[in-house]
Amino acid sequence: MYACQKISILAAAALLLGCGHYLVPGRFQPLEVAQQQTDVQGSSMKILDDGTVTFVQNRLEVSVRPMEDEEINRQYPAQSTNARGPADELPSNPFTYGNWTDPRTGKAPQRLSVFKITVKNYEYPKVKFDPLTVTVESANGRRYYPWGSYDVEEYFRRFPLAFNGLGYLRFDERRDIYNRARYPDDDFCFSGQEVEGYVVFSKIHDDVAEISFHIPEFGLRYNFRNEPIETIDLSFRFKRDIEKVKNIDKLAAN
């Protein structure tokens, strides 16, 4: 009896060990045009070569593009490389880990999920996109909410230690980069203007293969009190391939 139990335990352990794996997600790519939202009258959806999905209604365009860490690092080259000195725990880029690599995998992990939003308004007197109302929903049931300025400050303020002046300088640099790059809160895009910026989320989990980027109540028309009298709901869909790797050496090779 004891021998049978021991064999059962060993078999279960072997089975569990055999099922272990790492997930290596690829880059998010747009779903086909036919699978994008097209139910707004007089509108269409476009997919660009760089992975941007654009909602078009006459001369109004709203574009969403998932950003890769490498692209953001190229945008901030000086802030994406390690310096030397006190409190230089990581590069100053607030969106990525820069050129820091995990010694276990030899790769830079993803810090946050970043989407670039562009609004081009040549149709209405003024329109408004509120970045704090966006949600990202995954096909496997997860939901992600955007970060605001307070979330970014709370996340990075923990890194400076005690009265470390250089650490707080780095904190201020990260906060300034974020504030310049983010899509502005509660701002109108007036006729003839183009507004763009980042919307930031916590890292989307590695097991998420398909997402929908929802923009509720995008404002098209406003009264004299700046209250919306016409809004639309927009949705942009993306997917990515996920590779399963059984050992960490193969993970580093990907």
Residue 10 has pLDDT above 60, yes or no: no
pLDDT tens digits for 117-157? Answer: 999 999 999 999 999 999 999 999 999 999 998 999 888 88
Q: What is the pLDDT of residue 19?
A: 58
Contact yes or no for 97/109 (Cβ under 8 A): yes
Q: How far apart are the first and last CA of the chain?
A: 46
> What is the number of H-type helices and E-type strands within the chain?
5, 14
Tell me the mean pLDDT in the region 187-193. 96
Whether the predicted model's global pTM rises above the 0.95 cut: no
Instruction: Give the least confident one: 11-20, 29-38, 238-247.
Output: 11-20
pLDDT tens digits for 157-177? Answer: 877 766 667 778 888 889 999
pLDDT tens digits for 29-74? Answer: 999 988 887 777 878 999 999 999 999 999 999 999 999 999 999 9
Q: What is the pLDDT of residue 3?
A: 52
- Token code pair at residue 110: 């993803």
Residue 21 has pLDDT above 90, yes or no: no
Q: Report d(CA 246, CA 52) in Å as an integer.
A: 33
Better pLDDT: 46 or 186:
46
- Token code pair at residue 111: 């810090």
Q: What is the pLDDT of residue 16?
A: 47
**Crossing angle for the helix pair 165-181 and 149-156, to the nearest 10 degrees:** 160
Residues 6+ apart with CB under 8 A from 26: 240, 241, 242, 243
Domain regions of the chain by residue span: 2-253
